Amino acid sequence: MKITKIHITLFCLSVLVLSSCNQKKEQKVEGTNTTVFQPETGIDLLDLQAKNKLGKDTIITIINDPVYHKTKKYQAVNALNVLKKEIDLSKIDIKNTKIVFECIDGYKPEMPLELFLNTKPFLAFKDIEAPKGSNWEKIIKDGNEMNADPFYLVYESVSEKDIRYKWPYNLIKIHLKPSNESTKELFPSDNKELEIGYNLFQKQCITCHSINGIGGTMGPELNYPKSITEYWIEKELVDYIVDPASFRNKVKMPTLGITKQQSQEIVDYLKYMSKKKIEVRK
Contacting residues toward ligand HEC, per CB under 6 A: 204-205, 207-209, 218-220, 228, 237, 240-241, 248, 251-254, 256, 258, 266
Q: In the bound complex, what is the minimum distance in angstroms from residue 109's beta carbon to ligand HEC?
A: 9
Q: Which is nearer to ligand HEC, 118 or 255 (CB)?
A: 255
Q: In the bound complex, what is the minimum distance in angstroms from residue 14's beta carbon to ligand HEC?
A: 18
CA 108, CA 19: separation in Å to the nearest integer? 20
How many CA atoms lie within 13 Å of 185's alpha carbon, on the beta-carbon side?
A: 17
Q: Which is nearer to ligand HEC, 74 or 169 (CB)?
A: 169
**Cα angle for residues 6, 255, 250 (degrees, 5° grid):** 40
Q: Which is nearer to ligand HEC, 133 or 257 (CB)?
A: 257
User: CB of 149 within 8 A of CB of 171?
Assistant: no
Q: In the bound complex, what is the minimum distance in angstroms from residue 252's beta carbon to ligand HEC?
A: 3
Q: Which is nearer to ligand HEC, 151 or 240 (CB)?
A: 240
Q: Which is nearer to ligand HEC, 97 or 227 (CB)?
A: 227
Q: In the bound complex, what is the minimum distance in angstroms from residue 176's beta carbon to ligand HEC?
A: 22
Q: Which is nearer to ligand HEC, 79 or 205 (CB)?
A: 205
